[in-house]
A and B are shown apart, each in its own frame.
Chain A
Amino acid sequence: MSRKGDRVYITWLEMRKVLLSPVFLILLLLMIGFNLFSIWSDSYNREELQVVNKIIETYGPSFNDDILQTMERDINQLVIELGGTSTQAFLEEMTYEIYDHASSEEQHQIDHISLLYTYVQAAKELEARYTAIDIAKLKQDFLNAQTMPSWLEQKMANEFDNWHARFDEIVETNEYKQWFFLGEYGMHSKLFRSHMKTLAFEGVLIIALLTALIANYEFEHRTQLVTYATKKGRKLIWYKGFASLVCSLMVIAVLFGVTLGTYFTVYDYSTMWQIDISSGMNWEYTFPYITWWSISLWQYLLLAVVILTFVLIIVMLLTFTISVFVKNSYFTWLLSVLLLLAMYVMPTYFPNSTLQWMMHYNVTLLLLNPHQFFNGGTSFMMMQYHEFSTLLLWLLIASAGTIGAIRHFNVKDVV
């Protein structure tokens, strides 16, 4: 057997420990089952959401006054077909009794008209609502609320100025006038807050577990004296690391792939991939999503998956580091999950703003807030490049930890 074949074979043997143990398969299936159940169980409005696709197909992805006027005329045409005169009066007079007496086809048509009308109204009101956002005031409130050292204050003021410029750009280029599911449906939150966050959680639990299994395997099965004394010996730790990485990626692919695949079969996003996340229609809470760049839905989805994948790789590396020192998978797993929890809790223990700012570079925040990626806003987390800095910082920390751990492993007693 060639040396390269050797390497692949040993890595495969390490991976087998995960891939052929039924416990991972069962856990993965349970998690996927849970995800699919939660997608299906609240998909009651999927038909209603289709209307956006129809709007985009007919009128294009973005809107302006002309298009809205055309739409109003078209809606009015539909109303006239049903024997009404003006759209508003038609919908206001639509009582439950009248609706109930209409044929099912007519009912369908009425629903369609009412939905279209809602979207057009929201679109018409958007400009006034959107331009009323006062970034300068948000900046002032933020700076007033915190006591910061002057360099940090300057830095945050700059952040806000840049964000303000970006906001002006969105307004100027009409980037916010794009169709998206109405904010009331909370579709952005549903996808990126509920489902993506759940996926990230599940990923952490299962990846920490499989890494703990592979890394501690020899110690837990009392084979360390044999395996680490062979010719390959302690180099095996590299194969273990690599096998953990490949297994983690496989888990991510299956978990994310099946869940998101199902999500996009249940909900029809077919015309929406090019729509920007910063669309003003995508306005769920106090503010819309004012992103630092113009990012379309498919780019955002891809980037979110990539970011979470990197976070999960960081989790894998940290677990691997812990396992070399702890040598016990029970403690390894608990400690790495608790480490992530601690990252989330720690900032609340420190009222000092500089420490607060530093602690916002933490991977747990990325795990918990996929819906806020690339968003500007009123917290330390909303800084430009926050995601990249956090990933870079923690990749460095985790890699340094792993290399340190392997070096330590090369010289320590294996007993």
Chain B
Amino acid sequence: MRLFLYEMKKIFSWKLILLVLLVNLLMFKVLLEFDLEYFPNGRPAGDDFKIEQHIISKYGATMDEEEFLDLQATYEEEVAKADAFLANDPKAIAVEMDSYENFRDFDYGNEEKMAYHDEMFFNSEEDFPWVLQAYEGYLERYQHKEKALVANMKGATPAQKKRYEQLLEEEKFAVYTDTVTSNFKSYKTSMAIVIFLSVAILISPIFLRDVNAGVVPLQYSSKKGRSVYRTKWLAGLVSSILIASILLILYMTLYATNDTSSHFDLPLYTFGWDYFWYDITFLQYITLSIAVIFGMSVLLSILTMAISSLVPNTIVLIAVQIVIMFVMIAGGATVIINNLINIWYAQAFVPSVLTIFAVVTILVAGFVWRREGKRDIA
């Protein structure tokens, strides 16, 4: 146990902690900050988000005819407000846009009308152009709820088609926008990249450190002998679990500031645009994503430890890690984490890749364990 703690101390040396901190500070600015600072990102995403926060509590995951009429009533109230504004705005009257209907369905060729229309959208304090457009989105989505699914079936693989048909049959339609889910998708991908980098930087030197210091022959010929390797390995595993947990908690706490809890209980199919293989809720989806990032980080640390004991020197270690990190970022984060249960990839794709990753890692680690037990140390 004492040895274990000593090894932990070596892994969490102040220099490495500072380095990991620096990496996180810089990468936070490059990757993560955007999805926190700019959520919801401008218009109409901001309007969608505001409306959704309001109507989700009223309508829930599905929308029936009655709820639709209620939404339409709300919309018409807002239209009445817009009508009142436009009817009293001399500029609107001048270009014959004195009601919302005239404002919305105008002649695009008319430059004066176009100018007023743009002015209202982009340079005015009035919210109604965006808000009403957002409402219309929800109304249209309900009216054409089957169409979206049917349109997706074109060019779909048989398995995807079956899934769309299932959604159609069970009347699981998209009600809301993907403002919240697409933000989370982007955020979790960035989070995975930062955590993978942190784990790799922290764990990489674990075995090479002692080789470079020339103390391995001493350790292996001591009373404790080669089981020192196992102690170090365990310390590495615990450290990676620690760092991955700390960073996940930190970044998910920051994510909480996006205030998306209103959407937590909605099943994924209500968000539209993206479709998924399973009908889990958004909160379950978040949990699944965190679990996969965590699992991949632990696997990465096991792989890293194997590499650390196989490579002859730091240069080879870095070179191998450049390649591994490329695969982990370009493949692991941006493909696997980003598209966990997304319908664009075959249902078995992500689980198979993860299984292969796990099996390869465990095989390599097992090989290195056995090798460590009997290799020459001189």
Contacts and interface: CB of A to CB of B under 8 A. Distances in A.
A338 B318 contact: no
Contacts of B22: 338, 342
B313 interface: yes
B12 to A, nearest CB: 15
B29 A349 contact: yes
Interface string B129-142: 00000000000000
A279 interface: no
A220 B29 contact: no
B214 interface: yes
A95 interface: no
A23 B316 contact: yes
Nearest to B15: A331
A213 interface: yes
Interface in A48-97: none
A381 to B, nearest CB: 17
Contacts of A205: 322
Q: Which of B26, B212, B315 has the most CB of A within 10 A?
A: B315
Given A330-B205, A341-B30, A345-B26, A220 B319 contact: no
Interface string B278-290: 0000000000000
B323 A30 contact: yes
B30 A27 contact: no
B26 A342 contact: yes
Interface of A: 21, 23-24, 26-27, 30, 205, 209, 212-213, 220, 222, 328-331, 333-335, 338, 341-342, 344-345, 348-349
Interface of B: 15, 19, 22-23, 26-27, 29-30, 201, 204-205, 212, 214, 313-319, 322-323
B35 to A, nearest CB: 15
A212 B318 CA distance: 11
Nearest first, the 10 A-B pairs at minimum CB distance are A329-B314, A345-B29, A213-B315, A23-B319, A23-B316, A27-B319, A330-B314, A345-B26, A341-B26, A333-B318
A222 B214 contact: yes
B318 A330 contact: yes
Which of B27, B201, B212, B319 has the most chain A CB atoms closer than 10 A to its own CB?
B319
A330 B212 CA distance: 12
Contacts of A212: 314-315, 318
A182 to B, nearest CB: 26
Contacts of B19: 331, 334-335, 338
6 contacts: A27-B319, A27-B322, A220-B313, A330-B205, A341-B27, A341-B30
A23 B322 contact: no
B336 to A, nearest CB: 19
Contact of B201 (A209, A222, A334): A334
A27 B319 CA distance: 7
A329 B315 contact: yes
A220 B317 CA distance: 13
Nearest to B313: A220
Contact of A26 (B23, B317, B319): B319
Contacts of A30: 323
Contacts of B205: 330
A326 to B, nearest CB: 10
A328 B314 CA distance: 9
